[in-house]
Amino acid sequence: MMIIEIDFNSDEALYLQLRNQIIIGIATSKIRIGEELPSVRQLADDIGINMHTVNKAYTVLKQEGFVKVDRRRGAVIAIDVDKIEAIEELRRDLKVLLARSSCKNISREEVHALIDEVYENYGGLD
């Protein structure tokens, strides 16, 4: 299991930090498909946050198709691959990110270079 680091001084909600770190863990193969996540109580104790926060992160991961909940095994990494829906979701997220970038005078070339740099970390296929 990857090490989860929560920044208690961040403006980002704790459950989103946890969700994002688990997604990055999957993308970088630090967490593998079929791997069980710690129980809500165990993870809350390990990182020093409320169980409701962990539960919310797991619920969001389930809704987004990264986790399945098994009665016996708990939360298990299971990617629900619906590429068309994933592309639409990416399009929605990118609209906001690119609008923010444009407002801050970040060029198309800088965005492309950044995408290439970040995507390489996730074993992206060309």
- pLDDT, residue 1, reads 59
Q: pLDDT per residue over 38-48, tens digit each?
A: 999 999 999 99
Indicate the domain borders of the chain: 14-77, 83-120
Q: pLDDT per residue over 62-118, tens digit each?
A: 999 999 988 888 999 998 878 788 888 899 999 999 999 999 999 999 999 999 998
Q: Which fold has domain 14-77?
A: Arc Repressor Mutant, subunit A (1.10.10)
Continuous segment of H or E residues that includes residue 99: helix 83-103
pTM, two decimal places = 0.76
